[in-house]
Amino acid sequence: MTSRTTLIAVAAAQLTANLAGQVVALRRRRAFDVPFMHGSPDHVGRDSWWFGTAYSAPSYMLAAQIWAITRLAAVPDDRARGVLRLFGTGMIAGYLSERFSRQLLTPAGFDPVETPIVAVGLAGAVAMAVVGAQRQVGR
């Protein structure tokens, strides 16, 4: 598997975790809560557009991630690769700064629905950052 196809696969898995995280956060009213800003459970839907939720990036980032995956699947594209690398790097910080995500990744905070979403999302973000930084093979 080339780094391009690997990046497409991990970015798609990460996107799936983000989308599942958004649905769960909307249903369970899990607003974003990072050290410098918090959302309100009453406004999770509105905040999901610009700030994200406890378990997903903002909607505009998800749309850009869909564009980058689609573009990279069509042709080798350094911009799309760079977008996925940048998003992966940024989402690592997002997952680790999010209070609910940190709690879910501890044994005491395990939730059978939310913990797998966060674990896959964080692992996918790390993989996007690492694979996105590799040079393309077989352009």
pTM: 0.92
Give pLDDT, residue 138: 46
Neighbours of 54 (CB within 10 A): 26
The pair of structure tokens assigned to 84 is 């996925």
Give pLDDT, residue 134: 86
Residues of the chain with pLDDT under 50: 137-139
Give pLDDT, residue 136: 57
Give pLDDT, residue 46: 93
Give pLDDT, residue 97: 95
Give me the residue spans of the domains in the chain: 3-133
* Nearest C-alpha neighbor of 56 from the set 98, 21, 84, 92: 21
Kind plus residue range of the DSSP H or E element containing 112 = none
Per-residue pLDDT reduced to its tens digit, 32-55: 999 999 999 999 999 999 999 999
